[in-house]
Amino acid sequence: MTATAEATASNLDPEILRAERMFTEMRAQTEDPPGVTRPSFGEGEHAAHALAAEWARSLGLEITHDYAGNQYMTLPGRDRDAPRIMIGSHMDSVPHGGNYDGAAGVVMGLAALDRLRRLDRVPEQDITVMAIRAEEACWFSTHYAGSRMAFGLLPAAEYDACVRVDTGRSLTAHIKEAGFEPEPLKAGKAWLDPKKIRCYLEPHIEQGPALIGAGLPVGVVTGIRGNLRYKHCQVTGVYGHAGAVPRDHRRDAVFAAAEFAGVLERHWLDREAAGKDFVCTVGEFWTDPTQHTMTKISGDVRFTMDIRSEDNAVLLDTDAYLRREAARIGAARGVTIDLGAFTNAEPALMDPALRAILREKADALGIPYMEMASGAGHDCATFANLGVPSAMIFVRNDKSSHNPEEAMEITDFGEAARLLGALLDALG
């Protein structure tokens, strides 16, 4: 260890040093160059859950699992019948992702309970750290699967309809294989009751560049953006010869799709100018590789859209606007623009009282922070939209997320953990 590293380590609380060791061990056990891979209901996710349980056992926490395999690690409080405080996040990752996305929240929750043990403090009510399964939609193509299963909210049909992209086997099969119980889940049986949860807290790395750009270690989240997702947009025109068909006779799917993408970007600029929270992305955009060639007018373009805002009315207004524009462009260019169906994950606003405590405690502790929206979705939205008072703390993270370059500094993690600890102290 270098002198600088030794000096840094000497300033960290023991539970933060233990957190750092857990991050190192998680990386070692789930490494999949160039990053880590922890598939939902796969070996990497299981390994991360096992490491969390090992730490929990060393603290004497109560460990239970629900029907879906979500793991609950509980520090008993003085009043065991009182609604409990929950801290949680997910432990799966995208393929070849980073080591901190999701898992940092569980690790911070365990560090918070480790601190309470070290200080010999017994909370007023139980505090539970929840390690959530299957948050990353890239594996089973359904959002917030683990947290929705905990509340009995995942539609029964999805258990068999959703198959993991790398195995081709259903969510039902993977739950069974992991030793858990899909049948009560299919019947809509809930493990968690919102009325028995005092609040839900989710620490998480920031997945964009705002904190890095501002030079701040911590963010207090105002809300989680909802989204509209369009997976099957299609522009249908007519194939033709690149040199022989004049412009006014063309039904060019590419130019129509490009014009539509420009309309979407202009709508984004208009929303920004109006002071509305809004982001949008065309993530996939392609012509048919079995038909296209350099000398051919394309008659078919497919694309996807991801549109997000903290205001669901803005999202739904956008859908209506884009469908009108699709009809206008289609008529003008002699093509059909079909946006298809969309899925709508509603926004989730964070609890004002919890946000106020976080601001107050950050100021008192001298922790620099900013308030900000979460552009990414999180399990916290499941809790908040069920009426559970919820809050999120972001930790500065360089190089964005969902990639192997995630770069969270343990000192920033320590500052966020101090803030979480102060919030727990204030809640009693």
Taking Cα atoms as reference points, which of 108, 106, 90 lies closest to residue 38? 90
Taking Cα atoms as reference points, which of 141, 126, 140, 11 lies closest to residue 62? 126
Q: Are 329 and 337 in contact (CB under 8 A)?
A: yes
- Are residue 212 and residue 337 in the same domain, yes or no? no
Question: With 50 as the cut, is the pLDDT of residue 284 above it?
Answer: yes
Q: Measured in whole angstroms, how far is the alpha carbon of residue 89 from the centre of its chain?
A: 9
Looking at residue 63, what DSSP letter applies?
E
Report the pLDDT value the prediction gives residue 229, as an integer from 0 to 100.
94
* Residue 71 placed within a domain: yes
Instruction: Check: pTM over 0.85? Answer yes or no.
Output: yes
State which amino acid sits at residue 174: H
* Residue 7 placed within a domain: no
State the Cα–Cα distance between residues 114 and 195, nearest whole angstrom: 27
State the Cα–Cα distance between residues 298 and 136, nearest whole angstrom: 34
- Are residue 144 and residue 33 in the same domain, yes or no? yes
| Average confidence score pLDDT of the chain | 96
The total number of structural domains in the chain stands at 2
Question: Which CATH number is 268's domain given?
Answer: 3.30.70.360
Question: Which CATH number is 89's domain given?
Answer: 3.40.630.10
* Residue 179 placed within a domain: yes
Across 194-225, the runs of DSSP E, i.e. the strands, are: 197-205, 218-224
- Are residue 148 and residue 77 in the same domain, yes or no? yes
Report the pLDDT value the prediction gives residue 9, as an integer from 0 to 100.
52
Question: With 90 as the cut, is the pLDDT of residue 5 above it?
Answer: no
pLDDT tens digits, 27-59: 999 999 999 999 999 999 999 999 999 999 999
- Are residue 260 and residue 364 in the same domain, yes or no? no
Question: With 50 as the cut, is the pLDDT of residue 224 above it?
Answer: yes
State the Cα–Cα distance between residues 23 and 32, nearest whole angstrom: 15
Report the pLDDT value the prediction gives residue 11, as an integer from 0 to 100.
82
State the Cα–Cα distance between residues 393 and 222, nearest whole angstrom: 10
Which stretch of DSSP H or E encloses residue 101? Answer: none
Report the pLDDT value the prediction gives residue 105, as an integer from 0 to 100.
98
* Residue 4 placed within a domain: no
Q: Measured in whole angstroms, how far is the alpha carbon of residue 107 from the centre of its chain?
A: 16
Report the pLDDT value the prediction gives residue 143, as an integer from 0 to 100.
87
- Are residue 355 and residue 327 in the same domain, yes or no? no
- Are residue 361 and residue 253 in the same domain, yes or no? no
- Are residue 231 and residue 290 in the same domain, yes or no? yes
Token pair belonging to 101: 């996305």
* Residue 415 placed within a domain: yes
State the Cα–Cα distance between residues 141 and 324, nearest whole angstrom: 28
* Residue 5 placed within a domain: no
Question: Domain end: 345, 380, 399, which one?
Answer: 345
Token pair belonging to 391: 């809050």
Domain that holds residue 98: 12-225+348-427
pLDDT tens digits, 101-119: 999 999 999 999 999 999 9
Report the pLDDT value the prediction gives residue 6, as an integer from 0 to 100.
41
Lowest mean pLDDT among 4-13, 140-149, 323-332: 4-13
Question: Domain end: 313, 345, 377, which one?
Answer: 345
Q: Are 391 and 201 in contact (CB under 8 A)?
A: yes
2 band by pLDDT with thresholds 50, 70 and 90: very low
- Are residue 331 and residue 237 in the same domain, yes or no? yes
Sequence-ordered alpha helix ranges (H) in 134-228:
137-140, 145-150, 156-161, 171-177, 182-186, 210-214
- Are residue 373 and residue 292 in the same domain, yes or no? no
Lowest mean pLDDT among 4-8, 26-30, 81-85: 4-8
3-state secondary structure of 270: helix
Question: With 50 as the cut, is the pLDDT of residue 67 above it?
Answer: yes
Report the pLDDT value the prediction gives residue 345, as an integer from 0 to 100.
86
Q: Are 345 and 226 in contact (CB under 8 A)?
A: yes
Question: Domain end: 345, 362, 390, which one?
Answer: 345
- Are residue 340 and residue 385 in the same domain, yes or no? no
234 band by pLDDT with thresholds 50, 70 and 90: very high
- Are residue 306 and residue 417 in the same domain, yes or no? no
10 band by pLDDT with thresholds 50, 70 and 90: low
* Residue 2 placed within a domain: no
- Give me the mean pLDDT over the 168-197 stretch: 98
- Are residue 366 and residue 267 in the same domain, yes or no? no
Distances (CA, A) of 368 to 148, 191, 359, 389: 34, 38, 10, 24
Q: Measured in whole angstroms, how far is the alpha carbon of residue 329 from the centre of its chain?
A: 34
* Residue 277 placed within a domain: yes
